[in-house]
Amino acid sequence: MAKVKIAEEWLNSCSGCEIAILNIGEVLVDLLVNNLDFVHIPVIMDHKYYGQTGEEQKLDIPEAVVGIISGSVRNEEHKEIAEEMRKKCQLIIALGTCATNGGIPALINMYKDEDMLDFVYRQSPTTDPGPNPTSHIPPLLERCYALDEIIDVDIYLPGCPPHPDWIAAAVLALLDGKTEFAMPERSVCDMCPTKKEGKKGLEDIKRMLKTPDFNPDKPLDEMRCLLEQGFLCLGPVTKAGCGGKGKPPRCLSTRMPCRGCYGPIRKTSKPLIDYMGALASNGFDTSKMLDRRGYLGRFSGAHGVLKRLG
Ligand code: SF4
Ligand code: SF4
Ligand code: SF4
């Protein structure tokens, strides 16, 4: 049977999502031997966009059945590549929270480009001050976009990085002839085995400079819910799946609160309102929470969630 062609691209991306693909491990090896043929994946395979010697005028990516795209869209080059992938691939998977919701790079949506460039090239303590680079730099778009603000997306696999179980499950579903795949619409709390002792009055937010109350020799289900302990755990408003299929959330397994890296539970969610509700129902004075926007929008600042401050 002919192998299914697959193309992969990284836009405004850190390559963690590509490492998540490699972390599929032996299942990926089997797929590559029997079912899949990567026709384009710049992170590991050389491919010249404009012909071998740059002789072509138009960007060209080979045709494929499945196109996987990581990263958000921040400049003209990202946009052009995303549009070419959409033209050449029958199905597009947005891989990782940068692609699905803007991710960490979309924090820039709170600031002006000139302030960002000034900080990076002159004000940062680890930089020798210099002018902004001007040659071979694609023009910036007016803000950082999630992929579906630029092109149509068929399948969303959030996570920073996404768990390899979901990437494998999505690809296997497509190979099985399905044209749709969606992760369950559940929250991190739904997958968290910590002990809930009921709604007690939360007084002050505890920063993670304090250690939560737990016994490292005891299993996770003997630790009290971190939100009930006063730590800002974003489990109630974050999409589940980070531990892999059926496994507990990754940060909670290391006794750390969830920071929201899988983004909102569903597209229509209102995490800010829902989280304020979760805090209020635990008796917490929500006015004590500083920088709500940045905290709740840290991984999902596209789609107009984070806007310029001034
Ligand atoms: S989602 Fe996370 S791992 Fe993937 S590209 Fe963005 S920052 Fe990197
Ligand atoms: S708030 Fe955090 S610690 Fe509590 S149940 Fe949800 S994910 Fe677990
Ligand atoms: S617990 Fe939250 S922050 Fe940690 S990996 Fe899971 S979704 Fe991401």
Mutate to test the pocket of ligand 3, among 238, 253, 254 (most ligand atoms within 8 A of CB): 238
Q: Is it true that the peptide bond before 62 is cis, omega within 30 degrees of 0?
A: no
Please tell me the number of the ligand nearest to residue 21's CA: 1
Task: Please give the Cα distance from 97 to 260 (Å, whole number).
Answer: 10
- CA 259 to ligand 3 center in whole angstroms: 6
- The first and second tokens of residue 107, run together, are 């924090």
Average pLDDT over the chain reads 93
Could you report the per-residue pLDDT of 211-238, keeping only the tens digit for each? 999 999 999 999 999 999 989 999 999 9
pLDDT at 201: 67
- Ligand 1 contact via 212 beta carbon (within 6 Å): no
Atom from ligand 1 closest to the CA of residue 159: 1
Ligand at shortest distance from the CA of 247: 3
Q: Is 49 helix (H, G, I), strand (E, B) or coil?
A: coil
Closest by CA to 103, choosing from 73, 132, 136, 80, is 73
Q: What is the pLDDT of residues 167-188, one digit of tens each?
A: 999 999 999 999 899 999 999 9
Task: Kindly indicate the confidence band of residue 54, based on its pLDDT and cuts at 50, 70 and 90.
Answer: confident
Mean pLDDT of 35-44: 94
pLDDT at 283: 78
Q: What secondary structure letter does DSSP report for 275?
A: H
Task: Indicate the angle between helix axes 164-175 and 26-34, nearest 10 degrees.
Answer: 20
pTM of the predicted structure, to 2 decimals: 0.94
Mean pLDDT, rounded, for 92-102:
98
Q: Are 81 and 59 in contact (CB under 8 A)?
A: yes
134-143 contacts, C-beta under 8 A, 24 or more apart: 138/75, 138/76, 138/77, 138/78, 139/75, 139/76, 140/74, 140/75, 140/76, 140/113, 141/73, 141/74, 141/75, 141/76, 141/78, 141/79, 143/106, 143/108, 143/109, 143/302
Return the amino acid letter for 127: T
Check if 260 has its Cβ closer than 6 Å to any atom of ligand 2: no
pLDDT at 136: 87
